[in-house]
Amino acid sequence: MCPPDHFTVAYAINPWMRPGTGVDVGLARRQWDALRCTYLELGHAVEVIDPVPGLPDMVYAANGGLVVGGRALGARFVHAERAAEGPAYLEWLVRAGLEGAREPEHLNEGEGDFLVVGGLILAGTGFRTSPAAHAEVQGFFGRRVVSLELVDPRFYHLDTALAVLDDSTVAYLPAAFSRSSRQVLESLFPDALIADERDAAVLGLNAVSDGRHVVLAAAATGLVAALRERGFDPVPVDLSELLKGGGGVKCCTLEVRS
Ligand code: ARG
């Protein structure tokens, strides 16, 4: 995770961002700290990277890379405003001793667009990560990658439209995907939890699950109830200040899978 010390909305690279919107950095910090403490209370280890001044979106750590089986691939950002985050996160990944940690060849925004479900990697494209990066990730990790096309600019990263709940279960908003990608999701996950627009619009799908506890936006009340019904243990948190940059729980979290 990366503390939001330099968080602000100074540019707009997604429809959630309105430059000039006031940001309460103190509140962002308290909400972010509460998320960090939630993970600790659930028994997870949390590593923190030093935030770099001038990189307001660095708080969205998910975009910093992809780590699977102790191997790490860095990120290459689409927008110039975030480009310097790539090397900053890569330096952390290298120092953490992750195998093969290197810069990617193609545009990829890390776990924003790559989600691991069991032995599979789901990969988003359409707004940020390029299809060429999907092939690169498949080669680098030696895992099957399934490409999914995003079509709604509000859900510009895969992790805003789909949540991984456990090794075989996902929740997603069908309308965020192209018709053919919806068919792919239906055949891969016939028992998926289908989310509605209202929950997705508060970034409820931008969730982190350990297979049982699902940390997600408290405002996604429908999803919280649906998860409980399915036997998951929803853990609602409030990241309203960070939503101003277009990010939620998952965006603030890069999973380091050993
Ligand atoms: N403002 C950031 C951007 O548009 C938000 C990134 C959110 N991260 C995520 N994993 N969806 O790039």
Residue 251 lies in a domain: no
Query: Buried (b) or exposed (e) across 244-257, using 16+ Cβ within 10 A?
Result: bbbbbbbbbbbbbe
Quote the pLDDT of residue 134: 98
Give the 3-state secondary structure of residue 180: helix
If one counts every other C-beta atom within 10 angstroms of the C-beta of residue 48, the result is: 11
Quote the pLDDT of residue 219: 98
Q: Which of 206, 251, 253 to mutate to test the pocket of ligand 1 (most atoms within 8 A of CB)?
A: 251
Q: Which atom number of ligand 1 is nearest to the Cα of residue 128?
A: 12
Residue 127 lies in a domain: yes
Tokens of 258: 């050993």
**The one catalytic residue among 2, 134, 213, 251:** 251
Closest CA to 159 of 98, 209, 101, 118: 209
Give the 3-state secondary structure of residue 62: helix
Q: Which domain holds residue 92?
A: 25-245
Do the strands 170-172 and 162-164 form a parallel or antiparallel pair, or are they unpaired? antiparallel
Residue 17 lies in a domain: no
Looking at the DSSP bridge assignments, the partners of residue 71 are: 68, 99
Whether residue 157 lies in the annotated active site: yes
Residue 146 lies in a domain: yes
Q: How many domains does the chain have?
A: 1
- CATH number for the domain including 35? 3.75.10.10
Tell whether ligand 1 has an atom less than 6 A from the beta carbon of residue 89: no
Do the strands 162-164 and 144-149 form a parallel or antiparallel pair, or are they unpaired? unpaired
For residue 49, the 8-state DSSP code is: P
Quote the pLDDT of residue 146: 98
Phi/psi-derived region of residue 162, left when phi > 0, alpha when psi is between -120 and 50, beta in every other case: beta
**Summary count for the chain: helices (H), strands (E):** 7, 12
Q: What is the 3-state secondary structure (H, E, C) of 34-45?
A: HHHHHHHHCCCC
Tell whether ligand 1 has an atom less than 6 A from the beta carbon of residue 112: yes
If one counts every other C-beta atom within 10 angstroms of the C-beta of residue 54, the result is: 10
Looking at the DSSP bridge assignments, the partners of residue 144 are: 120
Identify the sign of the CA torsion 257, 184, 159, 34. negative
- Cβ neighbors of 220 (< 8 A, separation 6 or more) are 198, 199, 202, 203, 204, 205, 236
Residue 238 lies in a domain: yes
Residue 165 lies in a domain: yes
Distance CA 115, CA 164 (A): 7
Q: Which atom number of ligand 1 is nearest to the Cα of residue 250?
A: 10
Q: What is the pLDDT along the chain (258 residues), one digit of tens a residue?
A: 999 999 999 999 999 999 989 999 999 999 999 999 999 999 999 999 999 999 999 999 999 999 999 999 999 999 999 999 999 999 999 999 999 999 999 999 999 999 999 999 999 999 999 999 999 999 999 999 999 999 999 999 999 999 999 999 999 999 999 999 999 999 999 999 999 999 999 999 999 999 999 999 999 999 999 999 999 999 999 999 999 999 999 999 999 998
Distance CA 201, CA 160 (A): 9
Residue 18 lies in a domain: no
Query: Buried (b) or exposed (e) across 76-97, using 16+ Cβ within 10 A?
Result: bbbeebbeebbebbbebbeeee
Whether residue 6 lies in the annotated active site: no
Residue 250 lies in a domain: no
Q: Which atom number of ligand 1 is nearest to the Cα of residue 14?
A: 4
